[in-house]
Amino acid sequence: MLKIAIPNKGRLSEPALKLLNEAGLKVESGRQLFCKCGDVEILFVRANDIPEYVQDGAADLGITGIDMVEEAGARVDLLLKLGFGQSKLVVAAPENSGINSKKDIKNGVKVATEFPNLTKKYFNKIGRKVRIVKVSGATEITPYLGVADLIVDLSSTGTTLELNNLIVIDTLLETQAVLVGSRKYVKHSIVTSLKSVIDAKGMRYLMVNVPVKKLEMVKKTIPSMESPTIIDLAEKDFKAVHTVVKSSQVYDLIYNLKKLGCKDILVLSIESLVK
């Protein structure tokens, strides 16, 4: 039985559940530690434990953040970027601290973080000796409490930092949710299903009836993934053209297709897409 570890709470939990359900695994959320979906077992664990569970073989696959994989130093393969949970791991300082860039950071400052390993690596790289204060949450309040001079924390929009009068000094890494596991699972049906859902995001299925005399021009106009599908119609002056396009292209496409005399334009969302 294939075991997939996913976060039991936090910013990656609900999107991970949603992705698995869209891929065909009917996973029920709750307070359970695991659930079975056919021949797949879902393990609900802490996101920062997932890299080591996968590394040690307790789980075959796992959904977690790049930041957590790097923090753990886990020997796992990154199989898929999942397109959610995007944020940056940043160094931030109080607005009135006089620290406006990494050049202003002096030796001996206290740095609060949930990422001690990545923090130590960063400050070693820039040649600063700092005191790392490990915390388990609410990192942004530590300068106000006098616990730390700087923080290293995740920031997605910057709003939380701004509300706490903190400014970004530098970025350690950019992160998002990823599927990790052994390379032997790259072609597994579960990985293929997850990838098909991800690839379908932002794509639309376009169907349009095209005047035969404008067919070649339309084929050049439509930015299809591959060659579009051309279908004969009962109305011999028209051909049906089916293709997949980016959702961002739909507005301009409809305008241009109408100008070319096309009709019966239909745009559909796509649940999954196997390339």
Per-residue pLDDT of the chain (275 residues; tens, 9 = 90+): 899 999 999 999 999 999 999 999 988 776 778 888 888 999 999 999 999 999 999 999 999 999 999 999 999 999 999 999 999 999 999 999 999 999 999 999 999 999 999 999 999 999 999 999 999 989 999 999 999 999 999 999 999 999 999 999 999 999 999 999 999 999 899 999 999 999 999 999 999 999 999 999 998 888 776 789 999 999 999 999 999 999 999 999 999 999 999 999 999 999 998 87
- Which positions ≥6 away from 171 have C-beta within 8 Å? 88, 89, 90, 91
206/222 Cα distance (integer angstroms)? 10
- If asked whether residues 57 and 98 sit together in one domain, one would say no
Total domains, the chain: 3
| 178 CA to centre of own chain | 7
CATH number at residue 250: 3.30.70.120
Beta-strand runs (E) in 9-60: 34-37, 40-45
CATH number at residue 40: 3.40.190.10
Range of the domain at 52: 2-84+176-199
| Residue 38, pLDDT score | 84
pTM for the whole thing?
A: 0.86
- Residue 266 in tokens: 């239909």
- If asked whether residues 160 and 233 sit together in one domain, one would say no
- Residue 115 in tokens: 């990422």
Picking from 164, 199, 234, the residue at the C-terminal end of a domain is 199
The helices-and-strands tally (H runs, E runs) of the chain is 9, 15
CA angle in degrees (0–180, nearest 5) for 9-45-13: 30
pLDDT digits (tens, 9 = 90+) for 163-188: 999 999 999 999 999 999 999 999 89
- If asked whether residues 111 and 165 sit together in one domain, one would say yes
Three-state DSSP state, 149: coil
Residue at token pair 């936090």: 10
- If asked whether residues 184 and 147 sit together in one domain, one would say no
pLDDT digits (tens, 9 = 90+) for 61-92: 999 999 999 999 999 999 999 999 999 999 99
Q: Which residues pair with 64 in a beta bridge?
A: 178
Give domain status of residue 274, yes or no: no
79/100 Cα distance (integer angstroms)? 37
- If asked whether residues 76 and 180 sit together in one domain, one would say yes
Beta-strand runs (E) in the chain: 2-7, 34-37, 40-45, 61-65, 77-81, 87-94, 110-113, 131-134, 150-155, 166-175, 177-181, 203-211, 229-232, 238-246, 263-269
| Residue 30, pLDDT score | 63
